């Protein structure tokens, strides 16, 4: 990992901001530092310096590095879950839903700052509280997809959740594999390929009306 680049001089002056705006600023600075250095190597001094604030200002919002990390992690997993839920709610066309669900993972992993590393590659993944936050967020993604699968197929909750977890696993793994290779395969082509693969499987599950989803 490489240390984050210094904040621009204009951003290094502490200015009065509303509490909510200051919190966002600090979270973005923390994201840069944690992604670059990992939790254990990062220091509150680094984060305060990146944000252009004094350490007392940082401690006014977060009592310690762990609390700051957990708040950032919660924000990231919630953002991913919201992307997937929005994909499920955006259309009644199930083929389009699969495409949007896979695309949600690609967009999350391709977002600026590689914040996905906090969720999927954290050096705190064995920490019980970190694992609980990540599992809760991933669970929301799986549940959003499972609800649609159950409604269409009549599958019982456990089988619907199993199918949904397969789709989210495919999307996450393929998006992480694709990221360092995106110069050779575009985002749209990658999403199209992986959603087609997923659709060929999911569309074969019998629908509640006795038919199958159209190709």
CATH code for the domain of 41: 1.10.10.60
Nearest to 76 by CA among 141, 142, 165, 126: 141
Q: How far apart are the first and last CA of the chain?
A: 44
CATH code for the domain of 185: 1.10.357.10
pTM (2 decimals)? 0.80
Q: Domain check: are 123 and 49 in the same one?
A: no
Q: Domain check: are 138 and 81 in the same one?
A: yes
pLDDT tens per residue, the chain (215 residues)? 455 555 543 344 445 767 788 999 999 999 999 999 999 999 999 999 999 999 999 999 999 999 999 999 999 999 999 999 999 998 888 889 999 999 999 999 998 768 888 889 888 888 999 999 999 999 999 999 999 988 888 888 999 999 999 999 999 999 999 999 999 999 999 999 999 998 887 766 665 554 444 44
Domain count, the chain: 2
């Amino acid at each position: 990992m490489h240390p984050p680049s210094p904040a621009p001089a204009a951003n290094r002056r502490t200015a009065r901001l509303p509490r909510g705006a200051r919190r966002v600023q600090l979270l973005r600075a923390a994201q840069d530092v944690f992604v670059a250095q990992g939790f254990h190597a990062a220091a509150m001094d680094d984060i305060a310096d990146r944000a252009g604030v004094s350490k007392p200002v940082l401690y006014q919002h977060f009592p310690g590095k762990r609390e700051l990390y957990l708040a950032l992690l919660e924000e990231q997993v919630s953002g991913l879950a919201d992307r997937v839920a929005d994909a499920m709610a955006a259309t009644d066309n199930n083929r389009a839903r699969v495409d949007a669900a896979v695309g949600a993972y690609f967009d999350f992993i391709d977002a600026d700052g590689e914040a996905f590393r906090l969720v999927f590659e954290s050096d705190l993944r064995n920490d019980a509280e970190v694992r609980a936050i990540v599992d809760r967020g991933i669970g929301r993604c799986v549940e959003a997809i499972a609800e649609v699968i159950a409604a269409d197929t009549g599958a019982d909750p456990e089988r619907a959740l199993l199918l949904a977890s397969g789709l989210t696993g495919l999307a996450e793994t393929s998006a992480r594999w694709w990221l360092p290779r995106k110069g050779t395969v575009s985002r749209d082509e990658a999403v199209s390929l992986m959603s087609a693969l997923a659709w060929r499987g999911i569309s074969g599950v019998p629908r509640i009306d006795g038919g199958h989803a159209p190709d």
